[in-house]
Amino acid sequence: MKYLKYRIIVLSNGKTVVFHTEGGNLYHRLAEHSLIYSPCGGNSLCGQCKIKAELPAGKIERQLLSESELDENIRLACCHEIDKDILITIQNPPKKIKSIAGSALFIADIDPIVRKKSISIDKNHSFPSDKAYLEHCLGAKIGNMLIRHIPSAIQAENIDAVITYYGTVVSLYCENPLLMAVDIGTTTIAGELRDLEGNIIARYGMANSQRKYGYDIISRMQYAVDGLENLKKALTEDLNFLVLKLSRESKSAGRIVYICITANSAMTHIAYGIPTDRLAAFPYKNSISILDTNAAEMGIDSLDKATPVHFVPLVDAYIGGDILSDLTALSNEENFLLCDIGTNCEVALKRNGNIWATSAPSGPAFEGGNIECGMTAADGAIKKVLLSDSDDLKIETIGN
């Protein structure tokens, strides 16, 4: 067993957190415990990972911090390696990001990727195997990960199977199947459950836990050079939490039979543990464009291992599945300019059947990097401003 020789005591928001470590960068150790975040992910660029500790000030801190801050022992966590026990005070701990669900601008035609097929079981069939019999009755192939369910299915009088439009069985018994859509954003993750008629069963939004490793795409990819496993682990834990949250809210445990994920190129690579090296530097190429996997490979433990997980295809290096999802929803429109504004922005112009698209990071505008005013979408941020008939101004904030 490794001996964790240094003790770190953190005073934050009226609470005391104590952990032990073998060393390493102070920012990264604090971030691993979700005690501090910074837009640049600890790359000594933004000056926002401020702590109070009796540590010597370095060159970068003298550039990014004021004289009064230096005199008060304000330091930047990213500038220090742990080589002793440290007592730290964090005066402005990270606020919880809130994902605010909006309403649909229009309802697209419902054409689910799966359908339900009910059959009666003949236990005395003449086929060479139960698998061959079920495949004949269902008109679809049963994959290896579902074979273990065949013995119990064949003992039933009737089964409600779920089949994809391309002829693959995804469940041998699910009376009321649900489909799950997930939008993995750089800052937030949103999920929604729908039935096969398109009715919304449950929805939930949450912060992307990868924020501790950098607020924007560039910071994440820089961190991924040595920390890809940490990024993937954070996202996998978020997906598991999202599945459990939606399942509990809708009382639908075991009914999710298909997941569709939309994300930008970097998030798609990281979600599956694919290095982003070629995406982050010239020639700026995706390692993949299409990704179809399952719950087992994604580490989603709360679902059946065989549950299909489909990622919306990537078009190019920074034209990902998120913008393609938007374009698909608008496919019947003739000419339009589509702007997807988030931590990473995409713009697409459709004219006379042709589509041009591009993207650019907008992190500082939304995440508070290198700006004097404004904040992230956390408790206290202004959500809505209303002017009444009597000219009274009403302000709604997140969390109030």
Is the pLDDT confidence value at 265 over 60? yes
pLDDT for position 170: 93
pLDDT for position 3: 61
Is the pLDDT confidence value at 389 over 90? no
| Domain termination residue (choose one: 309, 333, 357) | 333
pLDDT-derived band at 131 (thresholds 50, 70, 90) equals very high
pLDDT for position 391: 82
pLDDT for position 373: 64
Residue 104 and residue 34 share a domain: no
Is the pLDDT confidence value at 119 over 80? yes
Is the pLDDT confidence value at 369 over 60? no
Q: CB of 3 within 8 A of CB of 81?
A: no
Residue 244 and residue 279 share a domain: yes
pLDDT single digits (tens) 194-238: 999 989 999 999 989 998 888 888 889 999 999 999 999 999 999
Mean pLDDT calculated for residue range 165-176:
89
CATH number at residue 121: 3.30.420.480
Name the β-bridge partners of 259. 180, 309
Of the ranges 108-112, 254-258, 312-316, which one carries the lowest mean pLDDT score? 108-112
Mean pLDDT calculated for residue range 91-101:
67
pLDDT-derived band at 68 (thresholds 50, 70, 90) equals very high
- Give the residue from 202, 201, 218, 199 showing the smallest Cα distance to 210: 218
Mean pLDDT calculated for residue range 42-66:
91
Which has the higher per-residue pLDDT, 197 or 342? 197
Q: Give the span between the Cα atoms of 86 and 55, in whole angstroms.
A: 9
Phi, psi angle pair for 144, to nearest 5°: -60, -30
Is the pLDDT confidence value at 104 over 70? no
pLDDT-derived band at 96 (thresholds 50, 70, 90) equals low
pLDDT for position 286: 94
Residue 276 and residue 220 share a domain: yes
CATH number at residue 31: 3.10.20.30
Question: How many domains, in total, are found in the chain?
Answer: 3
Residue 288 and residue 176 share a domain: yes
Is the pLDDT confidence value at 340 over 90? no
Which has the higher per-residue pLDDT, 158 or 375? 158
- Sign of the Cα pseudo-torsion (311, 187, 365, 268, in order): negative
Residue 264 and residue 323 share a domain: yes
User: What are the tokens at 244?
Assistant: 């459990």
User: If you compute the radius of gyration of the chain from its CA atoms, what whole number of angstroms results?
Assistant: 25
Q: CB of 17 within 8 A of CB of 43?
A: no
Query: Which residue type occupies 295?
Result: A
pTM: 0.81
Residue 243 and residue 159 share a domain: yes
Residue 126 and residue 10 share a domain: no
* Distance from the first to the final alpha carbon of the chain: 47
Label the pairing between strands 308-311 and 256-263. Answer: parallel
Tokens 């096969």 correspond to 196
Is residue 350 assigned to a domain?
A: no
Is the pLDDT confidence value at 300 over 60? yes
Is residue 356 assigned to a domain?
A: no
Residue 151 and residue 125 share a domain: yes
Q: CB of 165 within 8 A of CB of 130?
A: no
Which structural domain, as residue segments, surrounds residue 20? 6-90
